[in-house]
């Protein structure tokens, strides 16, 4: 899938959780959302983008969440 589309979708999730005071919980929730609702190929693609390609343009909280909690 077009990585720009995935980045845009992931950033929207990050925007939702940005205001949560407990950032570590928010990061878990971001990853939980991705694990629960994104198909495996989409998760693999965004994880590779973060872990291999540096995650440019991706919300910082989302990057952290993916590194720590994504299931691929």
Partner 1 sequence: MDEIKYNSSIDYGTPKSQSAKQVTLTIDDREITVPDGVSIMHAAAVAGVMVPKLCATDSLEPFGSCRLCLVEIEGRRGYPASCTTPVAEGLKVHTQTPKLADIRRGTMELYISDHPLDCLTCATNGDCELQDMAGAVGLREVRYGYDGENHLASVKDESNPYFTFDPSKCIVCSRCVRACEETQGTFALTISGRGFESKVSAGNKDFLESECVSCGACVQACPTATLIEKTVIEAGTPEHSVTTTCAYCGVGCSFDAEMKGEEVVRMTPTKNGGANHGHSCVKGRFAWGYATHKDRITTPMIRKSIKDPWQQVGWDEAINYAASELTRIQKQYGSDAIGGITSSRCTNEEVYVTQKLIRAVFGVNNVDTCARVCHSPTGYGLKQTLGESAGTQTFDSVMHSDVIFIIGANPTDGHPVFASQMKRRLREGAKLIIADPREIDLVANSPHIRADYHLKLRPGTNVALVSALAHVIVTEGLVQEAFVKERCEWDSFAEWRDFVAKPENSPEALADELGVDAETMRAAARMYATGGDAAIYYGLGVTEHSQGSTTVMGIANLAMATANLGREGVGVNPLRGQNNVQGSCDMGSMPHEFPGYRHVADDTTRALFESAWGRPLSKEPGLRIPNMLDEAGEGNFKGLYCVGEDIVQSDPNTQHVTHSLENMECVIVQDLFLNETAMFAHVFFPGASFLEKSGTFTNAERRISPVRRVMRPKNGYEDWEVTTKLSEALGYPMHYSHASEIMDEIAALTPTFRGVSFKKLDEMGSVQWPCDDEHPDGTPIMHIDEFVRGKGKFFITQYVPTTEKVNAKFPLILTTGRILSQYNVGAQTRRTHNTAWHAEDILEVHPHDAEERGIKEGDWVGIVSRAGETVLRAKITDRVQAGVVYTTFHHPESGANVITTDNSDWATNCPEFKVTAVQVSRVSQLSDWQKHYKTFSEAQIAFAGKKAEAAKVS
**Residues of this chain that bind partner 1 (CB under 8 A):** 1-2, 5, 8-9, 12-13, 15-16, 18-21, 33, 35-42
Is 34:13 a contact under the CB 8 Å cutoff?
yes
Is 26:17 a contact under the CB 8 Å cutoff?
yes
Q: How far is the CB of 48 from partner 1 (least distance, A)?
A: 16
Q: How far is the CB of 56 from partner 1 (least distance, A)?
A: 18
Q: Give 19 or 56: the residue with its C-beta nearer to partner 1.
A: 19
Q: How far is the CB of 16 from partner 1 (least distance, A)?
A: 5
Question: CA-to-CA distance for 72 and 63, rounded, in angstroms?
Answer: 15
Residue 61: which of 4, 20, 1 has the closest Cα? 20
């Amino acid at each position: 899938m077009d990585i720009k589309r995935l980045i845009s979708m992931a950033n929207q999730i990050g925007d939702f959780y940005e205001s949560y005071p407990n950032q570590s919980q928010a990061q878990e929730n971001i990853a939980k959302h991705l694990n629960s609702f994104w198909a495996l190929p989409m998760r693999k693609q965004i994880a590779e983008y973060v872990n291999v390609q540096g995650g440019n343009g991706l919300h910082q909280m989302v990057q952290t969440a993916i590194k720590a909690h994504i299931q691929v």
